[in-house]
Amino acid sequence: MTTTATATQQFMTTEQLLKDWQGHRNLTRRVIEAFPEKDLFEFSIGGMRPFAKMAVELITIGGPALKGIIENNSEAYNEEAFAPKTKEEILKKWDEETEVINHYFRQITEERFQETFNLFGQYEFPVYENVLYFIDNEIHHRAQGYVYLRALGIEPPFFWERF
Amino acid sequence: MTTTATATQQFMTTEQLLKDWQGHRNLTRRVIEAFPEKDLFEFSIGGMRPFAKMAVELITIGGPALKGIIENNSEAYNEEAFAPKTKEEILKKWDEETEVINHYFRQITEERFQETFNLFGQYEFPVYENVLYFIDNEIHHRAQGYVYLRALGIEPPFFWERF
């Protein structure tokens, strides 16, 4: 099979990607829950951020990015838009963003996923690459949360349990 | 837009997914390289495996899984098939598997990605879900390697640099 033939083959539908992402988000939610309140905001290894800061990063990327894509708005990324003081606040916002992501994601067409967009006025890539990046970034930081939990003597949720 | 309409929309081509995966594999290769030889095989946090063990897991999943899918072979997963003693051995095998992955991945058709296959005689899911899992699993373990490097006082490669 030539590369040209493969290039026209599709890997999965947008709905399958959304289900995969929301499965990851479910797991990340359980990782947030697994942290003791104090450690969520304070525990760190090797000068890295506490897990609460990573969770805030994830919350301020996904929904706002999809909204920007649909509204053709390249406004800058703003992590300060959300400054929670408790685990409960983080979890509440997490659940709100679940609906925001479903709402905007389902408005992105197959054609749009292949178009280049200057996300947050800074990340100029095809939309599908930016969406993959959101998920990869979430897996990346959540895995760092796994190490924090292990170092705290807490068993993290199973990586393969998503719903 | 209804869910039914969205379900027929495609997210990306198989070649785009392959490029994304090989980009991740390039980054993981640089993370392996960043470890001092001794720490690669011995350093650990919270009772987790050293990064060499995680790299061996990744090496013994990707290529062998794709070969199994193409050959319709549900032989069990065998992590013991590769027991390297040096970083050089791991990197050499890593590069060999790059070609194995390209070779078998490009033989999987759009239809096949949607079919269920009992991978390693144990993971019975649509092929595309298993392939996503390989990549997610790689990001997950590599991120744990990032924490190990930070704990060792070593700056890891940038997460967004793939090629």
Chain A residues within an 8 Å CB radius of B139: 136, 139-140, 143
pLDDT digits (tens, 9 = 90+) for B61-116: 999 999 999 999 998 998 888 999 999 999 999 999 999 999 999 999 999 999 99
Q: Return the closest-CA partner of residue A135 out of B77, B124, B12, B48.
A: B12
Tokens at B73, concatenated = 């072979």
When mean pLDDT is compared across A3-7, A20-24, A91-95, the lowest value belongs to A3-7
Closest B-chain CA to A139? B140
Contact status, residue B147 vs residue A45, Cβ threshold 8 Å: yes
Give the number of other Cβ atoms within 10 Å of residue A49's Cβ: 13
As a whole number, mean pLDDT of residues B105-131 equals 96
Q: Give the number of beta-carbon pairs within 8 Å between A and B.
A: 138
Closest CB from A14, A136, A150 relative to B11:
A14
* Residue B156 φ then ψ, to 5°: -75, 165
Q: Helices B127-151 and B51-70, interaxial angle, to 10°?
A: 170
Contact status, residue A63 vs residue A24, Cβ threshold 8 Å: no
Closest CB from B13, B46, B139 relative to A147:
B46
Q: Quick one: pLDDT band at residue A126, thresholds 50, 70, 90?
A: very high
The whole-angstrom separation of Cα A154 and Cα A72 is: 43
pLDDT digits (tens, 9 = 90+) for A55-99: 999 999 999 999 999 999 998 998 888 999 999 999 999 999 999
Q: Quick one: pLDDT band at residue A1, thresholds 50, 70, 90?
A: very low
The whole-angstrom separation of Cα A18 and Cα A137 is: 15
Q: What domains does chain B contain, in order, with CATH numbers?
A: 12-151 (1.20.120.450)
User: Please, what's the largest Cα pairwise distance for chain A?
Assistant: 55
Interchain CB distance below 8 Å, A15 and B1:
no
The whole-angstrom separation of Cα B163 and Cα B153 is: 24
The total number of residues shown for chain B amounts to 163
State whether residue A128 sits within 8 Å of chain B by CB.
yes
The total number of residues shown for chain A amounts to 163
As a whole number, mean pLDDT of residues B14-38 equals 98
Q: What is the 3-state secondary structure (H, E, C) of chain B?
A: CCHHHHHCCEEEEHHHHHHHHHHHHHHHHHHHHHCCHHHHHHCCCCCCCCHHHHHHHHHHHHHHHHHHHHCCCCCCCCHHHCCCCCHHHHHHHHHHHHHHHHHHHCCCCHHHHHCEEEECCCEEEEHHHHHHHHHHHHHHHHHHHHHHHHHCCCCCCCCCCCC
Closest CB from B10, B13, B159 relative to A13:
B10
pLDDT at A29: 98
The whole-angstrom separation of Cα A53 and Cα A41 is: 7
Residues of A numbered 23-62 whose beta carbons fall under 8 angstroms of chain B's beta carbons: which are they?
24, 45-48
Residues of A numbered 79-108 whose beta carbons fall under 8 angstroms of chain B's beta carbons: which are they?
106-107
pLDDT digits (tens, 9 = 90+) for B135-151: 999 999 999 999 999 99
Provide ipTM, 2 decimals: 0.95
Min Cα distance B25 → chain A (Å) is 13
pLDDT at A4 over 90: no
**What does DSSP assign to residue A48?**
P
As a whole number, mean pLDDT of residues B21-44 equals 98
Task: Give the Cα-Cα-Cα angle B24, B26, B30 (nearest 5 degrees).
Answer: 115
Q: Return the closest-CA partner of residue A52 out of A65, A66, A69, A35.
A: A35
**Residue A141 annotated as binding?**
yes
pLDDT at B4: 47
Contact status, residue A58 vs residue A98, Cβ threshold 8 Å: no
Q: Quick one: pLDDT band at residue A7, thresholds 50, 70, 90?
A: low
The whole-angstrom separation of Cα A115 and Cα B55 is: 35
